[in-house]
Structure 1
Amino acid sequence: MKQTRLLVALLLCIFFIGKQDANAQLKRFSIGPYVEAAFPTGNFSDTHNTGFGVGLGADIKLVAGLTAVGSVGYMRFGGKDVSNGTGGSISMPAAQAIPIRLGLRYNLISILYVKVEGGTAQFVGDYNSGTGGLIAPGVGIRLLGLDVEAKYEAWFKNDTHSFFGLKASYNF
């Protein structure tokens, strides 16, 4: 929880520092909301349905083509009914997490980029509570403020919870 508060405070500081440069001809900082859909893979797809998430992302341009990125959000995967091996079934609880990601984005050409993020996933609710690590490589297109990304993300806590995701955001 301290990590979440620290990240939120850091993003707010970055926002206010970036706000001072907003009138500059070259915008070096942006922030905005995102939504994402996630499609579980591997063992995670056996126990959970498609997931959905929302959050807030920010980025700071470092040098030509390289940008520092970060986000904090909320993801939820509905649970499935799973066979218990004796003819009955068990209803899996929903997997809910607060992912906190930090990483780098590199523009291959003006609108096409590759990105890698790492961080933590704070599991909440009845499923797998606690904190795990995460890695999330992706590729995307950013045109003006609209950003669309395809990614693979894996959370590591007692088992690997991996998924392919589509993420859409708008940055101000």
Structure 2
Amino acid sequence: MKKIFLAFATMLLMICISSQSSQAQLKRFSIGPFVEAGFPVGDFGDTHNTGYGIGLGADVKLIAGLTAVGSVSYFHFGGKSFNTGGVTGNYSDYNVVPIRLGLRYNLISILYVKVEGGTVQYTGKNYSGVGGLVAPGVGIRILGLDVEAKYEAWFKDGTRSFFGLKAGYNF
């Protein structure tokens, strides 16, 4: 997984460097870090606490108003304690690496809607494997500051979903 992340980060860096030098005036490509918080809902909310993540996102403008987006991040959801019939314990933490690709459409100059899909790699010692994800959202982008509200669902042995807030800065 580290090799995949390193290859993806290297690719984004190379694209960023070549894009900045060849199209500095057009600003068709941007890249930047972000942080996010996820608030689990449904059964996932019964077993896990609020999650936090950090990542790197990039976008490439395609045509007027339409942009291709992608991101890779690390997310952690801590498990809640339980007491069932005198048996106590904790649900396993989820440590995941979501890789998302999608499209963003600007409704007006600063307001956009976005839909992303991709994979989620579970990296915990008690739960691992690869699943799918879908993440529609709405946000605002003013200069380089990007703030988004989204709903994200992960699919592997059931659905784990959450409402999220994401804030980042694109160069």
**Which TM bucket (shorter chain)?**
over 0.9
Q: Which runs of 5+ in 2 are unaligned?
A: none
- Counterpart position of 2:59: 59
Q: CA deviation at 1:89?
A: 1.8
Query: Could you tell me which amino acid in structure 2 is paired with residue 166 of structure 1?
Result: L
- Counterpart position of 1:136: 135
Question: Given that residues 139 and 150 in structure 1 are in contact (C-alpha distance below 8 angstroms), is that contact kept between their aligned partners in structure 2?
Answer: yes
Aligned pair count?
A: 170
Query: Which runs of at least 4 in structure 1 moved beyond 6 Å after TM superposition?
Result: none
Question: Given that residues 21 and 28 in structure 1 are in contact (C-alpha distance below 8 angstroms), is that contact kept between their aligned partners in structure 2?
Answer: no
**1:91-134 CA distance string (max 9 Å, x none):** 11211101100000000000000000001111012242011100
Q: CA deviation at 1:6?
A: 4.5
Name the TM-score, length of structure 2 as normaliser: 0.93
- Counterpart position of 1:48: 48
Question: Given that residues 152 and 163 in structure 2 are in contact (C-alpha distance below 8 angstroms), is that contact kept between their aligned partners in structure 1?
Answer: yes
Identity in percent: 65
- Counterpart position of 2:109: 110
Q: CA deviation at 1:9?
A: 3.8
Question: Given that residues 37 and 50 in structure 2 are in contact (C-alpha distance below 8 angstroms), is that contact kept between their aligned partners in structure 1?
Answer: yes
Q: CA deviation at 1:22?
A: 4.9
Distance (Å, rounded) in 1 between the aligned partners of 2:5 and 2:144: 26
- Counterpart position of 2:17: 16
- Counterpart position of 1:37: 37
- Counterpart position of 1:166: 165
Q: CA RMSD in A?
A: 1.4
Counterpart secondary structure, 2:12: helix
Name the TM-score, length of structure 1 as normaliser: 0.93
**1:56-104 CA distance string (max 9 Å, x none):** 0000001000000000110001110123x32222211211101100000
Q: CA deviation at 1:5?
A: 4.5
Distance (Å, rounded) in 2 between the aligned partners of 1:127 and 1:52: 19
- Counterpart position of 2:72: 72
Q: Which runs of 5+ in 1 are unaligned?
A: none
